[in-house]
Chain A
């Protein structure tokens, strides 16, 4: 019992709202849903017939926000304008496409560090890109 307790206290608890993703994922590269879709559809090998793969493919097809690689990379470029954003926040903004700064800060709480006006401008640009992607 005592050893169990000690073990627990050394492991940092994961919490995405505070950007704590654990040692393995704190610095890992995040992918947008649109990028996952592109990678899965442009695989040079045959698709593996696993439940995990098929469910993921269906999911990314349903929730992809940017249909072309150009628009996905344009979104990444736009979000790069704000250097305070982490990989995780960048991907969450592009995946969820919140319409207002208020909504963005509610679904991605760690965005409190960013000024409302600047965030609003970024979100507006992304909405425009979504609307006019070919």
Chain B
């Protein structure tokens, strides 16, 4: 889900920047510091929409640097467990020979899994073949690799509707696994 959210960011400014162009420097520093970053707490910060308050700039004793606590409003994207989203298939994985009963954490390790990746904005969601309807079978002879049934095919750049069943949060990235093995999920036009 995309959100509009108020966030804060702390900028430490070296005294050599104190001067007439300080404000524009602070603004561009804020943009370059936060845009495109990802945290587990807030998800992906896609773009700053407006700066609400650039901060007072308290000079820190000892170093002489000024600390600005800026408040800004940004577009963020954060996936949630149980959320249904549309995505574009990016890659169909052909690696197989996975043991049948994998522990849950292994589902997040795509190297051992057959399935596909779908891009949902900045996020990449992995759908394991265990969470794909058995009618859609992996077609090892197709190029590019695909999952195909009599009337449906999932290959690179197919649009799919999927449900996020779990997320794992890293310091700088979010990993998600999804399912298309439920009603109203799967290939969309």
A interface list, Cβ under 8 A from B:
13-18, 21, 24-25, 28-33, 35-36, 39-40, 43, 45, 48, 50-53, 55-56, 59-60, 62-63, 88, 91-92, 95-96, 98, 103, 106-109
Contacts and interface: CB of A to CB of B under 8 A. Distances in A.
B3 A29 contact: yes
Contact of A31 (B3, B36, B80, B185): B3
A59 B78 contact: no
11 contacts: A14-B80, A16-B82, A30-B1, A45-B31, A51-B122, A52-B46, A59-B121, A59-B122, A96-B86, A96-B161, A107-B185
Given A55-B122, A56-B122, A14 B184 contact: no
Nearest to A59: B121
Interface in B139-175: 159, 161, 163-164
Contacts of A108: 84
Nearest to A37: B2
Nearest to B163: A107
A19 B164 CA distance: 14
B131 interface: no
B2 A36 contact: yes
Given A36-B2, A91-B1, A96-B161, A48 B184 contact: no
A52 B35 CA distance: 8
